[in-house]
Amino acid sequence: MPSEQTGPIDWFPASLLQDDPEETGDPFALVVLNQPLRDLTTLKRLWNNATYRAAADGGANHLYQLRDRVLDSENNPNRLDVVIGDLDSLSDEARDYFSSLPSPTTVIHDPDQYSTDFTKAVRHIRTTQKPSSIVALGGLGGRVDQGLSQLHHLFLFQQDAEYSQGRFYLLSDESLTFVLKTGKHRIHVRGSSRQVFGKHVGIIPLRGKSIISTKGLEWDVTDWTTEIGGQLSTSNHILPETSVVEVETNNDVLFTVALLQR
């Protein structure tokens, strides 16, 4: 199977959600999207582990509503660094609150109507911060077009084969999703101190027909053709003894793994 890589790419997604920030591995920035925040435990863990925190426009409104329950913004040194977007959704209360903290949040008005607030937040991080991974927090529920837009952004933000600008993750209430570029990948699914993933896995060929091979799943495949409207690898299972899932693909695919529901 053709590959642009010299060797497999290793992923450690469980490290993003460990309790100790020192266990998170590569530094990452957090982008909070303009959607309800329901999993407060995960939000708090991500908030404390991130090295930079951005809200895409109205995402700041949801953070404002949780300022006492989760963020303790007045005393927490892990502040909201920036709110960015066209600011048509940002409430006056949220703006005034975050701007008046001892370490005030920077509010940036970007009126560009040819890019989403999601894109503006990612562009800001990539132009002002050192190359790092980005975790976007926002559900895939609700309107179908909004969910598809978020998946579109995952591919949009991961154009280069070697992830030279950092890796990009989309975290919803129930799953973590990211793009596997053409080649071989090893996804380490066990955390160092706590288990964060459930058993369900999907490998979705949104960029067109793909040929994949897998190891470590209940229903592994070899040189298996998958495409929308054809065969799909959804609702597969990570085996109980598996610590690393291996995937090889000849085209970019979406990899999604369920979060452990407690």
Q: Which tens digit of pLDDT belongs to each residue from 40-95?
A: 888 988 998 899 999 999 999 999 999 888 776 666 667 899 999 999 999 999 99
Residue 178 has phi, psi (to 5 degrees) of -155, 170
- pLDDT tens by residue, 23-39: 556 789 999 999 888 88
Q: Using the predicted structure, report yes or no on whether residue 20 has a pLDDT greater than 70.
A: no
Contact 27, 53 (CB under 8 A): no
What's the average model confidence in pLDDT over 125-146? 84
Show me where the domains of the chain are located.
1-23+174-262
Of residues 147 and 178, which shows the higher confidence score? 178
Two structure tokens written together for 64:
């404002």
Q: Using the predicted structure, report yes or no on whether residue 2 has a pLDDT greater than 50.
A: no
Q: Using the predicted structure, report yes or no on whether residue 167 has a pLDDT greater than 80.
A: yes
Say which CATH architecture domain 1-23+174-262 belongs to. Sandwich (2.60)
| 245 strand-pairing partners | 187
Q: What is the pLDDT of residue 77?
A: 65
Spatial CB neighbours of 143, under 8 Å, sequence gap ≥ 6: none
Q: What is the pLDDT of residue 67?
A: 87
Listed range (66-70, 213-217, 220-224, 228-232) with the worst mean pLDDT: 66-70
Euclidean distance between CA atoms 191 and 57, whole angstroms: 32
Q: Report DSSP state, residue 112.
A: -
Task: Share the mean pLDDT of the chain.
Answer: 89
Residue 199 has phi, psi (to 5 degrees) of -100, -20
Contact 71, 137 (CB under 8 A): no
Q: What is the pLDDT of residue 74?
A: 61
Q: What is the pLDDT of residue 132?
A: 81
Q: What is the dihedral of CA 131, 136, 137, 140, to 10 degrees?
A: -160
Q: What is the pLDDT of residue 22?
A: 57
Of residues 175 and 76, which shows the higher confidence score? 175
